[in-house]
Amino acid sequence: MKPVCLPDKYEIIGELGSGGMGVVYHARDRVLDREVALKVLSEQFAATPRFVQRFLTEARAAASLNHPNIVQIYEFGETGNGHFLAMELVRGNTLKAELKQIGRFSEGQTLALVLTACRTLAIAHRAGIVHRDVKPDNMMFNEHHEFKLVDLGLAKSLHEDISNTVTGQSMGTPHFISPEQIMGAKVIDQRADVYSLGATMYNLATGHVPFEGTSGAHIMSRHLNDPLPDPRNIAPDLGAGFCQVLGRMMAKDPADRYQDMASLERDLLVLMQGELPASTGPVPTAVQDTIFMSSPDLGPALPTPARVEFEAKSLERVTGHLAEFMGPLARVLVRKVAGQAADWEELSQELAAHIRLSEERKAFLKACARIAEGGATTAIETQVDISGAMTQPIAASGPNAAAMPALTLEEATVSRIVGLLSDRIGPVARVLVNREMKQARSLNDLTTTLAAAIPDPRDRQSFTAAVSLLL
């Protein structure tokens, strides 16, 4: 069945697949007599301006990148209430499919593929575009075995304010996502693509993802906290230089990674010549301390500076206060920051930086100060209650702003929504609900936004149906 939003010039041949935001069709452009891939925005998202804007962002991002290794955009259109994107049709396999059919790639093959992806992403970065969803699924070989980078669905301008994206969603795929995307950092730059390309490199060379887990939330927690497993436990033939570059690509702190694709390309070329890259700057220390500590050919770890041991009871109280704004991820963050902070002030400030609203940050810092002084603390008084429901309206924009009060729901209803979402995406659900409640103007708006975070289409449908029965 042909989507109603498509012009008559497109003849639908078949469906290629579906994703979080829409369906991709195999089609023929009758006017230009060429076959194309058509991405059609789902009807449930077409009525939400933020999703339409994100769809448009993908079109503009991809259309601005004219390179043979990047899938080309032909047309972005709107007909009635529908939106579509016409792009180059790539006939061939994704690297994920290649892995399933053939098994893991050799070190040489992996380095060649990662070098090509590195150079392709550098083109996007020079144009001010960060991909933000680098993974084997989004890399393809066409029928001529030429490399293609696809799906700029999460792409974002380096200069775009994060508030213009889908607020509160970490964006990315759990197996390949960077730590800063998981934490919802305000600045997501090219170093996030470096990390995800590193996770892809691990996957290609071993046939396994770096971190397995029972849920998306579990996998993301491991990205934040667990040392990167030595790939030689799976593929013993990998060299020390390969592991050194991989460790630097996947350093948890962006400051410890390759800062751009150009510096990564230099080390990849050195490896491909059979030589070891030079170990320079602070990165090797971070890699040795946190990545392959048992690998003798990476050299001994440098002495670790002494750090403060915080009182467990105080950290537990801080975690409780932070959880009011971040949900269960608070415990993960406190544990991480406590292992690095030099004193209580640094701990407090670093944790507060992850709280989006300034009033909430101030209230949290006051609670931290009271804990440091040994005083009693009570629940933090802010504009947001513990369920995340707004108790005061947020100023809306647009012609209908006056008629669009902020969404207010009973705590029991919010808890039920959190439960329904948790069944599908794990404990990260509370964080997402808390954040989206601050921006939603209706239950339908909230439901649509939350449903977009559910990867499985059937789970999305059942979630939407279940929420509609709550009121």
- Annotated catalytic residues are 133
**From residue 452, how far is each of 184, 265, 294, 456, 466 by CA, in Å?**
16, 35, 41, 10, 15
Counting DSSP H helices and E strands in the chain, the numbers are: 18, 9
Calculate ∠ Cα 115-120-124, nearest 5°. Answer: 140
Question: Amino acid identity, residue 43?
Answer: E
Report the SS3 class of residue 22. Answer: strand
Q: Please list the residues that pair with 130 across neighbouring strands.
A: 156
Question: How many angstroms separate the CA atoms of 384 and 75, rounded?
Answer: 43
Sheet holding 73-79, edge to edge: 10-18, 22-29, 34-41, 82-88, 73-79
Long-range interactions of 458-464: CB distance < 8 A, separation 24+? 459/424, 463/420, 463/421, 463/424, 464/44
Question: In this structure, is the dihedral angle defined by the CA atoms of residues 239, 243, 245 and 246, taken in order, positive or negative?
Answer: positive
Contact status, residue 361 vs residue 321, Cβ threshold 8 Å: no
According to DSSP, residue 94 is labeled B
What 3-state DSSP class applies to 289?
Answer: helix
Q: Say if residues 91 and 142 touch (Cβ distance below 8 Å).
A: yes
